[in-house]
Amino acid sequence: MNTGFSFLVNMFQRRQRLKITPPPPRVDMTLDQFRQRPDLVAEARRLQADPWFRLQMEVLMNESPANYMTSRVSADRVLGQIEGYNLALNNLVAMATPPGDAVTLESTFDDKNNDIK
């Protein structure tokens, strides 16, 4: 009995049982376009309600570059990394919220205060 041959046969038999899924197609969509589609927002909301996803988000927040600042890296670079990291996490959260209506700002001061002489 050749154990090397049987090992190879078992290895190839196991590979046949693997299910290989192709990666999803690339999507060129902005966050605003994503949030305009109610079906995508509802799916993102469902995903964010999942406790495993929330755990992953908490782990990612704990891994922020802000928690690992070193003196060997310039402050500008560290701030850029922190800002980019936070922006990516905030975009994940924003995907679950539909776009809000634009708020029109109105002045609340009196016109009499605008007279400068």
Would residue 112 count as lying in a domain? no
57 within a domain of the structure (yes/no): yes
- List pLDDT tens digits, range 72-111: 767 777 788 888 889 999 999 999 988 875 566 676 766 6
Question: Collapsing DSSP states into helix, strand and coil, what is residue 22?
Answer: coil
Instruction: Write down the pLDDT at residue 76.
Output: 78
Question: 51 pLDDT exceeds 90?
Answer: yes
Closest CA to 99 of 27, 31, 28: 31
Q: pLDDT for 21-41, tens place per residue?
A: 777 777 788 888 989 989 989
Query: For the chain, what is the domain count?
Result: 1
CA distance 85 to 65: 8
Confidence of residue 55 (pLDDT cuts 50, 70, 90): very high
Q: Is 48 inside any structural domain?
A: yes
CA distances from 33 to 11, 44, 65 (A): 46, 14, 29
Any domain includes 94: yes
Q: Which band of pLDDT confidence, cut at 50, 70 and 90, is reported for residue 115?
A: low
- Asked, for residue 117, whether it belongs to a domain, the answer is no
Lowest mean pLDDT among 2-16, 33-47, 48-62: 2-16
Q: How confident is the model at residue 47 (pLDDT cuts 50, 70, 90)?
A: very high
Residues 52-58, mean pLDDT to the nearest whole number: 92
7 located within any domain? no
Q: Which amino acid is at 111?
A: D
Q: Which tokens in the block code for residue 71?
A: 């003196």
Neighbours of 44 (CB within 10 A): 20
